[in-house]
Amino acid sequence: MKCLFLFLLSIFMLQTAEAKRATEWALHIDTKLEATYFPQDIGDNTNRDLYKLELDPNYLWKYKDNFRFYSKLTFVANPNNNSDEEKYFFDVTEGYFRYTGETYSLQAGANIFTWGVTDGYNPIDIVNQKQYFDPLHSRKLGSLSLVFSQTLGNWEYELIYIPRSREAILPGTESRWLPREVYVPYTPENDLVLLLPETLRYHYGTKESLDNALDNNGAFRVQRRGDVFDIGLSFYEGVASFPIVQPVVTGTIVAVSPKTIVQVDPDVTLNTKNYRLRQGGLTLTATFWEMLFKYASAYSQSIGDDPLLPGWTHENVAALEKNFPLGDKGFLIGVLQYSFITSERANDSNLSVTEIFREAWMLGGRMTWKEVWNYSLLGLYDQKHGSNFIEASIGRRFFDRWVLTFTADFIQGSQETPLGVYENNDSYTLSLSASF
């Protein structure tokens, strides 16, 4: 009996030692301190400066090549923000278990999905809802979901089920990113303009979910990778990435033609409607002449009979990307992109982020120099409305861990346009980030 006990104990110890060797784990935390200054004053209740602390701890645990657990939490503190909704933000951005077999994997938990191939504007990347505290730099929210994926030769398949989708998080009531001078709401006739008063008080009102838009969302994607061409097809049915936002106001009508213009009283209530849509998508990438060609096309149809629903929308983006080696010092990546959108109804709403890209050119470049300097420049021109956006940044790495970055954003356009509504939101940002 004693020999049997020693034999079993030795087997257990060997198995335990083997399990320890097969197990890996890592814990990191990304940190960022950020200060933003807005030169233009647009009201006593809106911030001209913002100070943020962001912490993103992430943990990875692996057992052999089959089992994995990964979590990434996001915490942002912005205590001087005048909007109570934006002072503190917490999200389980990712937190999932994954089992990987020989050709397939099964994953459950909070997930982030990045579908599509284009940058800046990606019409197929709609599975996750977003936080829009800054609509030009939105942040994806983790989606509680079940994911099955499989690779068979050159083919890849991915199936996603979301029992209950989250809602998009809109700017706070005192945010600079809500209209402050002119508001063009989405209406079936596209015939209303609201002139806003100097003293303005936004309030969020009712939230509706049309046709159970948040329940039982799902998506499917198939991709084929080749030597020259990669092609992908996708399907999504679920909640739209941005809700319909309708203001409830009182005021005085000052004009009725060609559009109804209302001088609004100080209190404005914003009611939101989440709605359901179906989308089919196509992506294509190809390499030729030492350039990368990217194309994305998405056709969406809203579901339901509410008169405010947008109907069908066809979004297209085409881009060229090229790498320029800079000897042994660094490299430059350049991108030229054009987007064009057609839809069932005209839409000039200046709370529609998509509308910025109806006829838009984007030119951008990113350069790395001596592995410590980073430069980027992005220019966006809204050809339909004549507005533009420029973002320039420079960053310097110190001691392999710390990165100091300065960013300047400039916006120009008429206040009645989707991009020009942010014209007074030029900004300068200094950030210090580090990973531990």
CA-based Rg of the chain, rounded to a whole angstrom? Answer: 25
Query: What mean pLDDT comes out for the span 103-108?
Result: 97
Provide the pLDDT for residue 12: 45
CA atoms within 13 A on the CB side of 418: 23
Provide the pLDDT for residue 400: 87
- Count other C-beta atoms under 10 Å from residue 214's C-beta: 19
Nearest residue to 213 via CA among 242, 234, 240: 240
pLDDT at 314 over 80: yes
- The tokens of 76 are what? 């942002």
Higher pLDDT, 72 or 2: 72
Q: How far, in Å, CA of 174 to CA of 289, rounded?
A: 50
pLDDT in tens, 206-256: 999 999 999 999 999 999 999 889 999 999 999 999 999 999 999 999 998
Query: What mean pLDDT comes out for the span 293-308?
Result: 96
- Count other C-beta atoms under 10 Å from residue 355's C-beta: 23
Provide the pLDDT for residue 353: 82
CA distances (Å), origin 125, targets 182, 354, 421:
30, 12, 24
Provide the pLDDT for residue 426: 97
Query: What mean pLDDT comes out for the span 30-46?
Result: 94
Q: How far, in Å, CA of 136 to CA of 172, rounded?
A: 15
How would you classify the pairing of strands 49-63 and 139-140? unpaired
Provide the pLDDT for residue 347: 79
Q: Mean pLDDT across the chain, nearest whole number?
A: 92
Higher pLDDT, 75 or 399: 75
Provide the pLDDT for residue 5: 46
| 201, 185 Cβ separation under 8 angstroms | no
Q: SS3 for the chain, per residue?
A: CHHHHHHHHHHHHHHHHHHHHHEEEEEEEEEEEEEEECCCCCCCCCCCEEEEEEEEEEEEEEECCCEEEEEEEEEEECCCCCCHHHCEEEEEEEEEEEEECCCEEEEEEEECCCCCCCCCCCCCCCCCCEECCCHHHCEECCEEEEEEEEEECCEEEEEEEEEECCCCECCCCCCCCCCCCEECCCCCCCCEEEECCCCCEEEEEEEEEHHHCCEEEEEEEEEEECCCEEEEEEEEEEECCCCEEEEECCEEEEECCCCEEEEECCEEEEEEEECEEEEEEEEEEEEECCEEEEEEEEEEEEECCCCCCCCEEEEEEEEEEEEEEECCCEEEEEEEEEEEEEECCCCCCCCCCHHHHCEEEEEEEEEEECCCEEEEEEEEEECCCCEEEEEEEEEEEECCCEEEEEEEEEEECCCCCCCHHHHHHCEEEEEEEEEC
**Which residues lie below 8 Å from residue 307, measured CB to CB, with a gap of 6+?**
188
pLDDT at 108 over 70: yes
Provide the pLDDT for residue 372: 94
User: Using alpha carbons only, what angle is made at residue 138 by residues 88 and 168, rounded to the nearest 5 degrees?
Assistant: 75
Phi, psi of 2 (to 5 degrees): -65, -40
pLDDT in tens, 335-351: 999 999 999 987 777 77
pLDDT in tens, 4-35: 444 444 544 545 555 566 899 999 999 999 99
Q: How far is Cα of residue 17 from the mean position of the Cα atoms in its chain?
A: 44
pLDDT in tens, 349-393: 777 888 899 999 999 999 999 989 999 999 999 999 899 999 999
Band (pLDDT 50/70/90 cuts) for residue 118 is very high
Task: Please name the residue that has the structure tokens 């397939």.
Answer: 104
Provide the pLDDT for residue 55: 98
In the chain, the domains with their CATH numbers are 24-435 (2.40.160.10)
Q: The whole model's pTM is what? A: 0.90
Provide the pLDDT for residue 17: 53
Provide the pLDDT for residue 16: 54
Higher pLDDT, 6 or 103: 103
Q: How far, in Å, CA of 180 to CA of 421, rounded?
A: 8
